[in-house]
Amino acid sequence: MQVRRWVATGFGGLDDFAFIDDDLGPPGPGEVTIGVRAAGVNPADLKHAQRGTDPSQLPLPIGYEVSGQILAIGPDTEIASGGGAVGDAVLAFRVQGGYATALTVPAEKVFAKPASLDEPSAANLLLAGCTAADMLRAARVERDETVLLHAASGAVGVAVLQLARLRGITVIGTARPENFERIREFGGVPVQYGPGLADRVRAATPRGIAAALDAVGTDEAVDTSLELVADRSRIVTVVAAQRASAEGFIALGGGQPESLEFRDAVRSSLVRLAAAGDLVVPVARTFPLADARAALEFVSGGHPGGKVALIP
């Protein structure tokens, strides 16, 4: 099968991205070929290409998550949610090479797509959702506690808000004033970041803050978390790894063994929540697949206002 896909031909960033023609063979046992209808765009896609050092990895496929339709399924193979047949609508996460017209992936990474999600939303469900669930796990957040969430209106933040609301957790979320309504929509209490942030958080919650979750990584976010949360084992970041190492709090990454195991295990429950309408994915914009560089520039610029998808 002839496909088009994006690869990194070097580790220098977008200038090393190439949109190439390629051949895709049939799936083997335990594999599924998906015709891509939307590919999720994440800052991590570009960072992945920039972190490489081994030339033998090149050309490096780009893109972690997709939604689409099963084009072929290997012999004696079932997808992760059970069954699976040609023509089924599916989504897949932690794949390699999602920026493509089609790709072949391990069946264990493929789930039936909830009918309630359109293609761009489905293609962006699991990376943000798994990250959000993992942050709540790592911070040991319990029902009736109050947590501080930095970058609450972003993709991971919106997922945290929804998961926390389902568990009876109160979230104080930092954002710009124009994004306050989104935070309220998903059950959070918005506060404006900037000078005086810690005092505004204290005023918003007389019970105090039990834990802090950081999805932005600024010094202000880290400093405020350290000021308001005494137990550093309950401060979690997915961005500020150097500060975490220096200050003794938790930096999460999807490649860490405990996080990897948890994120794999939680995928099915996140898909079920999405199917029930309890976990939605706001999408800000879509781009044609050929415009992947522009899409990555858009999400890397900060404040995209929701998720972004590529449409073949």
What is the tens place of the pLDDT at every residue in 177-232? Answer: 999 999 999 999 999 999 999 999 999 998 899 999 999 999 999 999 999 999 99
Strands 170-175 and 189-192: parallel
Q: Is residue 211, in this structure, part of any structural domain at all?
A: yes
Q: Which residues pair with 106 in a beta bridge?
A: 31
Model pLDDT, residue 239: 96
pLDDT of 171 higher than 90: yes
Do 106 and 64 share a structural domain?
yes
Cα-atom radius of gyration of the chain, to the nearest Å? Answer: 20
Q: Rounded to an integer, what distance in angstroms lies between the CA atom of residue 79 and that of residue 112?
A: 8
Residue 105 and residue 139 in one domain:
no
Q: Check whether residue 237 and residue 192 sit in a common domain.
A: yes
Give the pLDDT mean for 132-138: 98
Q: Clarify whether residues 70 and 168 are in a common domain.
A: no
Q: What is the mean pLDDT of residues 241-266?
A: 96
CA gap 209, 172 in Å, rounded: 9
Going through the chain in order, the beta strands assigned E by DSSP cover 2-8, 17-23, 31-41, 60-61, 65-73, 89-93, 102-106, 110-112, 146-150, 170-175, 189-192, 211-214, 235-237, 250-251, 283-288, 307-311
> Containing domain of residue 189, as a range?
129-251
Query: 258 lies in a domain?
Result: no
Which pLDDT does position 301 carry in this prediction? 85
Residue 200 domain flag: yes
Is residue 270's pLDDT more than 90?
Answer: yes
Any idea what the CATH number is for the domain that residue 165 is in?
3.40.50.720
Q: Is residue 31 part of a domain?
A: yes
Question: Are 84 and 15 contained in the same domain?
Answer: yes
Q: What is the pLDDT of residue 52?
A: 86
pLDDT on residue 80:
98
Per-residue pLDDT, 206: 86
Whether 303 shows a pLDDT value over 90: the answer reads no
Q: Would you say 239 and 216 are in contact if contact means Cβ atoms under 8 Å apart?
A: yes
Domain count, the chain: 2
Q: Contact, 61 vs 39, CB < 8 A? A: no
In this structure, the answer to whether residues 237 and 206 fall within a common structural domain is yes
Q: How confident is the prediction for the chain on average, in pLDDT?
A: 97
Q: Which CATH number belongs to the domain containing residue 62 in this structure?
A: 3.90.180.10
Q: Would residue 275 count as lying in a domain?
A: no
Rounded Cα gap, residues 95 and 282, in angstroms = 22
Please tell me whether residues 7 and 105 are part of one structural domain: yes
Q: Are residues 116 and 144 in the same domain?
A: no
Domain match, 193 and 307 both: no
Distance CA 176, CA 305 (A): 11
Same domain flag for 218 and 300: no
Helix H or strand E segment including 103: strand 102-106
Q: What is the pLDDT of residue 85?
A: 98
Residues 10 and 84 in one domain: yes
In a domain, 159, yes or no: yes
Is the confidence at residue 305, as pLDDT, over 90? no
SS3 43: helix
% of the chain residues with pLDDT over 90: 95
pLDDT higher than 90, residue 84: yes
Q: Residue 304 is encoded by which pair of tokens?
A: 């995209």
Using alpha carbons only, give the angle 158, 163, 168 rounded to the nearest 5 degrees. 120
In a domain, 273, yes or no: no
* Residue spans of beta strands (DSSP E) within 197-311: 211-214, 235-237, 250-251, 283-288, 307-311
| pLDDT surpasses 90 at 75 | yes
Q: Is the domain of 31 the same as that of 48?
A: yes
Domain assignment present for 52: yes
Q: What is the pTM of this model?
A: 0.96
Q: Which amino acid is at 178?
A: E
Query: Helices then strands (H, E): number in the chain?
Result: 10, 16
Q: How far apart are CA 311 and CA 306, in angstroms?
A: 16
Tens of pLDDT along 1-46?
999 999 999 999 999 999 999 999 999 999 999 999 999 999 999 9
pLDDT of 302 above 90: no
> Taking a C-beta distance cutoff of 8 angstroms, is the pair 272, 160 a contact?
no
Instruction: Compute the 3-state secondary structure of the chain and give helix, strand, coil in percent, each to the nearest 5.
Output: 35, 25, 35
CA separation for the pair 107, 109 (Å, rounded) = 5
